Amino acid sequence: MNTKKLLFLTSAALISVAAFADEVECTDGSVYVGKIESIDGGVISVETNTAGTVKVSQSEVVSITTDAPVFVRTPDKNTVRGRIVSESDGRVKIDGGSLAADLEISQIQTSWQDGALSPEEKLLSSKWAYSLGASMLGKTGNTESLTAGVSAEAVRTTSDDTLKFYANYNYGKTKETSGTKDWSKSADDLHCGVDYEHSISAMTFWYAREDLGFDRVKNIRFLSTSAAGLGYKVIDEDNWHFSLRGGLSYRYETYKDYMHDGNWDNPDDTSALGLDFGLHHDYSWDWGKIVTDISYTPAFEDFFGDYVATHESYVDFDVESIDNMSVRIGMKNEYRAETTAADHLDTTYYAKVIFVW
């Protein structure tokens, strides 16, 4: 095959690819060529041959063209099937026969491919993921200790949002090998709550969360943290996620001295309006994943004197011989600037067996 013929065939192949591909052009002049998988929640997902799936903010797009019919939801809630043809001034035409539509790109509510699920079908078909964990640690020597913990989690994820319910309980006792050799409680705490995120654009989202529980070692009979705000996805890939949060918070805590006979005396409570900051990072490999979560909730009245800061990092190792089972090794730190306990900082090291289904 001579050089001219090779160049001709290569050019023809490139022209055919460009002619039979969807195209998205942005305000900065960048053009994405491939297949538009969906338009949903102000985000256009384009599957490209070179960069994989690219997510583009709908507000930054000036031109959209598809080479095949797709489903488009219009502002009046009608669904039109047809090719998206770009027109001038940021408008597009949906060539759908008698249901043809002419509208601005920003007016496209949702769009999906032939054979794909509509937003309503996605919501109905969204699956929950459940996990259950248990741990037990013991120690002998100068002191004897025994600590046990259980955790549960339920997560529902769709293309638009993530909803998570969780609960963690820990109980532990410690005994000195000398002296009275009495057992003393070293842990008795519960945290449960809900966390919700909803996409605003390709990289931004809003969130709301509620954390409830108690910590009897710290004499906290009841605690509640409510927060809501905005978040930004610094990294959002299939196996790598890094996001930041910022918003407002309200903390309420009831303190009482816990007596050995089970009675509560000397009631007291505190509440504070403040800010809420959060960081989440996770990275997955074939054999497991590593996760880090950090939160910081300071009060407006005393930004550096009244706050709660938490940090948790863990690594999950998949168990190859048992499906849906992993071993989790991690640590958790909680620092309370205002507390009736002797220490402000609690650090917990743990190893758990996790079952996911």
Reported as a single tens digit per residue, the pLDDT across 214-268 is 998 888 889 999 999 999 999 998 899 999 999 999 999 988 754 444 555 555 7
The CATH number assigned to the domain holding 305 equals 2.40.128.130
CA distance 271 to 189: 20
Reported as a single tens digit per residue, the pLDDT across 147-166 is 899 999 999 988 788 999 99
Separation of CA 186 from chain center: 32
Q: Is the pTM of this model over 0.85?
A: no
pLDDT number for residue 13: 41
Pull the structure tokens for residue 241: 């996620």
Asked whether residue 71 is domain-assigned, the answer is yes
pLDDT number for residue 177: 65
The residue count for the chain: 357
Q: Are residues 118 and 130 in the same domain?
A: no
pLDDT number for residue 257: 59
Domain boundary among 77, 98, 122: 122
pLDDT number for residue 99: 63
Q: Are 96 and 84 in contact (CB under 8 A)?
A: no
pLDDT number for residue 170: 93
Q: Residue 60's closest CA among 109, 105, 107?
A: 105
SS3 113: coil
Asked whether residue 4 is domain-assigned, the answer is no
Asked whether residue 274 is domain-assigned, the answer is yes
Asked whether residue 201 is domain-assigned, the answer is yes
Q: Are residues 110 and 210 in the same domain?
A: no
CA distance 179 to 275: 46
Reported as a single tens digit per residue, the pLDDT across 3-46 is 554 444 444 444 444 445 899 999 999 999 999 999 988 899 99
Q: Are residues 93 and 160 in the same domain?
A: no
Q: Who contacts 139 (Cβ-Cβ below 8 Å, separation ≥6)?
A: 145, 146
Pull the structure tokens for residue 349: 């090291």
Q: Who contacts 98 (Cβ-Cβ below 8 Å, separation ≥6)?
A: none
Q: Are 145 and 175 in contact (CB under 8 A)?
A: yes
Q: Are residues 71 and 154 in the same domain?
A: no
Domain boundary among 122, 145, 179: 122
Domain extent at residue 30: 17-122
Q: Residue 169's closest CA among 206, 216, 125?
A: 216
Q: Counting beta carbons within 10 angstroms of the beta carbon of residue 297, is it exposed (0 to 12), middle (13 to 18) or buried (19 or more)?
A: buried
**DSSP code, position 312:** E
- Please calculate the CA angle 261-265-267 and round it to the nearest 5 degrees: 145
Asked whether residue 260 is domain-assigned, the answer is yes
Q: Are residues 117 and 153 in the same domain?
A: no
Q: Are residues 153 and 183 in the same domain?
A: yes
Domain boundary among 92, 122, 152: 122
Domain count, the chain: 2
pLDDT number for residue 16: 42
pLDDT number for residue 322: 87
**Per-residue pLDDT at 83 exceeds 80:** yes
CA distance 39 to 199: 13
Asked whether residue 7 is domain-assigned, the answer is no
Per the listing, tokens 């940090």 go with 311
Q: Who contacts 199 (Cβ-Cβ below 8 Å, separation ≥6)?
A: 41, 42, 43, 159, 160, 161, 205
Q: Are residues 106 and 146 in the same domain?
A: no
Q: Are residues 97 and 204 in the same domain?
A: no
Q: Are residues 267 and 347 in the same domain?
A: yes
Q: Are residues 194 and 338 in the same domain?
A: yes
Q: Are residues 101 and 197 in the same domain?
A: no
Q: Are residues 65 and 169 in the same domain?
A: no
Q: Residue 256's closest CA among 310, 193, 214, 298?
A: 214
Asked whether residue 9 is domain-assigned, the answer is no
Asked whether residue 1 is domain-assigned, the answer is no
Query: 102-111, 169-178, 225-234, 312-321: lowest mean pLDDT where?
Result: 169-178
